[in-house]
Amino acid sequence: MAKKKKTTKSPKLPAVNGVIEGAGEVVEQHIVSTIQDNYMPYAMSVILSRAIPEIDGFKPSHRKLLYTMYKMGLLTGARTKSANIVGATMKLNPHGDAAIYDTMVRLSRGYEALLHPYVDSKGNFGKFYSRDMAWAASRYTEAKLDKLCSELFKDIDKDTVDFVDNYDNTMKEPTLLPATFPSVLVNANTGIAVGMASNICSFSLKEVCETTAALIRDPDHDIMSTLPAPDFSGGATIVYDEEVMKKVYDTGRGSIKLRSTYEYDKSANCIDILSIPNTTTSEQIIDKVIDLVKAGKVKEISDIRDETGLEGLKITIDLKRGVDPDKLMRKLFKMTTLEDSYACNFNVLIGGVPMVLGVKQLLNEWIAFRIECVRRRTYFDLNKKKEKLHLLKGLEKILLDIDKAIKIVRETEEESEVVPNLMIGFGIDEVQAEYVAEIKLRHLNREYIVKRLQDVEDLEAEIADLEAILSSKSRVKTIIVRELKEVGEKYGQPRKSLILYNDEASDEEEDEEIPDYPVNLFFTQDGYFKKITPLSLRMGGEQKLKDGDKIVEAIEFTNNCDILFFTNKCQCYKAKAYEFADTKASVLGEYIPAKLHMEEGETAVKMVVTKDYKGFLLFGFENGKIAKVPLESFATKTNRKKLTKAYSDKSPLVDIAFSSEDKEFVISSSSGRMLLIHSGLLNLKTSRSTQGVAVLKLKKGHRLFSIKEYVEGTFSKPSRYRTRNLPALGALPSPDDNSEQLSII
């Protein structure tokens, strides 16, 4: 990099003849350090102080609002105008009234976005499932804290959490809320930071409390047995996939499929949609259905309208005569957001560090946080009781000789000397003497004395119990379990989201409705796919490809067929040909890893096309083994899009060959040797992940190179390459063999 030019900065010097010294001079800067100095503080602020929730389940904006309402006394009593709350919250959150009110709306009961709302609202707060239903201004609505918030603020005044100064150092605010239940999982939370995001789905409060209690008792508890699936405020139906759900629970990432619930009204011949996924809106669904009807892709609908009212969401679809409602809904599930996916990303700040955690890890972090809260509360109560016991111990000495105390007070000439004289007369400290001096004359009776002495005994027992709690982690956990049980019983409610375990019937393809016509399917080395009709192929020009790319598969088939894409990560992705749009030779086509939502770094290496799943696949591995697997092993009763363990991972995959019947194949090695074998010699293995059998003997440093179908005439003497026993070394090609064919092989 060029050396920095030296500049003389003299802004205070007057301009000479209208020219400022140093103006217009260019100074070179390191772009990396400039961006880091200017952008990193902002990025860290967004991550740590705005977008990512903490272990109590709240972002700072949520916490500031709820704490303000708590300090306003809105946990009990009547509601107040939302504008009052917004104004008071600005003492903690100076980002403007609109942002604060938007936060309150999303936490409210009226908005219906949360399973367990934190704000008890009155007035128009809009609906989360409507794009166009705006909420009223803050001066028209009223709010207070919901009863559940008593569990958020329980014992907050007993030093359970840390407090910090607000932005202008005029008041204190909590860094966390000492929630008595795992609120981080009970209500949904979404945030977009810089370079990262968070999207936590909601779970049933009762199930979460039960699971957390079981996890405290047994760290190896199977959480899926008590927490089967999330629970969404919008209801809908969870299309249960055990593999996907386990991934979400283990890693905190994954995509959960949600499906709208509906009823068919036979008398009116219409479908009433009563709940939709939380990821969409009623207007978005209606607009998409109207577009499909106009495009002629859906012909069974005569009208669609939004009939949402006081009873909740309702989208009504009027059907034409003779239409099967279930069949229509299956089609709409595929073509609209009536069925949608909720992308989970359990990113939470733990000790100021963003971490993506699974459900069990998240609950363990909450348990650790709650243990600390209970210990701090216990320590606070212990100190208070010790202070009170200390006062009563001093009082006890006085009460043993009240006459002496009265005499000391009476004979003391100055008021300021009363406390020192009591200290000297009874051997007590200043705090105890001050307490004694403030006793009213009416309390100098036998009943009062007996009660105070009894209080000493009770306090000593309570202090011993609190000290036992502090010294026993199991006692602390028992307290947490008891509180969890109380919260679950008091605030738990039935699940809103149904769980659909068996989805075979609803995923059946309606083959007769799919137009079946000839198509040409092309797959390139870099993973691009094209579906072109024969007419378009004849009229089109040269195939457009990326630089360095080439077509490795060109197959003539029909539009209603299955396409299997095998990847470099031992997985198989299945698609229907009609799911791809007809295209032309002049376009690049669709990039398969993106189209089929493959994992990061995953690429497609082989395309297989079939309708009846007849035939077999030969998987060739570097170690010289070949696995012969029937194609029907990849057929599934349900419409699964992804198959794991599609082939063995014991040795790197080199090539895949497909054939509908047994025939001869040429097996090549990196040493140049070739082996001609008939696939009938290899036994079929029903297990997809089979390692296969050794076919090619390999010298040190060499590997199996390819598997290709034998073309008649390739070898002048085919017997030279055949063998009766496997594995075999193969033979080097002779000069008489077809060089053109060999280059293809």
Burial of 496 (0-12, 13-18, 19+ CB in 10 A): middle
Q: Which residues contact 275 (CB under 8 A, 6 or more apart)?
A: 234, 235, 236, 260, 261, 313
Tell me what percent of the chain is helix, strand and coil, each rounded to the nearest 5: 35, 20, 45
Return the HEC string of 217-245.
HCCCCCHHHHCCCCCCCCCCEEECCHHHH
Q: Which of 101, 105, 71, 70 is nearest to 87 (CA)?
A: 101
The encoded tokens of residue 591 equal: 């990039």
- CA dist list (Å): 342 to 18, 225, 244, 312: 63, 22, 12, 22
**β 498-500/237-239 pair status:** parallel
Q: Which residues contact 232 (CB under 8 A, 6 or more apart)?
A: 115, 188, 201, 202, 238, 258, 277, 278, 342, 496, 497
Q: What is the C-alpha to C-alpha distance for residues 628 and 643, in angstroms, rounded to an integer?
A: 18
| Residue owning tokens 């892709």 | 297
Distance from the Cα of residue 627 to its chain's centroid: 38
What burial letters (b/e) apply to 266-290, b meaning 16+ CB within 10 Å? Answer: eeeebbbbbbbbbbbbbebbbebbe
Helix (H, G, I), strand (E, B) or coil at 179: coil
Q: What is the C-alpha to C-alpha distance for residues 391 and 379, in angstroms, rounded to an integer?
A: 19
CB 524 within 8 A of CB 551: yes
Tally Cβ neighbours within 10 Å of residue 370.
Answer: 26
For residue 484, the surrounding DSSP H or E stretch is helix 473-491
The encoded tokens of residue 639 equal: 């419409």
- If you write DSSP's letter for every residue of 333-366 in order, what string do you get? HHHSTTEEEEEEE-EEEETTEEEE--HHHHHHHH
CB 321 within 8 A of CB 269: yes
Catalytic residue numbers?
A: 140
Helix (H, G, I), strand (E, B) or coil at 716: coil
Burial of 405 (0-12, 13-18, 19+ CB in 10 A): buried
For residue 617, the surrounding DSSP H or E stretch is strand 616-621
List, in sequence order, every beta strand (DSSP E) within 640-733.
642-643, 653-659, 664-669, 674-678, 693-694, 704-709
Burial of 619 (0-12, 13-18, 19+ CB in 10 A): buried
Q: Which residues contact 169 (CB under 8 A, 6 or more apart)?
A: none
CB 174 within 8 A of CB 162: yes
CB 338 within 8 A of CB 285: yes
Q: What is the C-alpha to C-alpha distance for residues 73 and 54, in angstroms, rounded to an integer?
A: 25
Beta bridge partners of 200: 189
- How is residue 143 annotated by DSSP? E
- How is residue 592 annotated by DSSP? H
Q: Which of 182, 210, 178, 205 is nearest to 116 (CA)?
A: 205
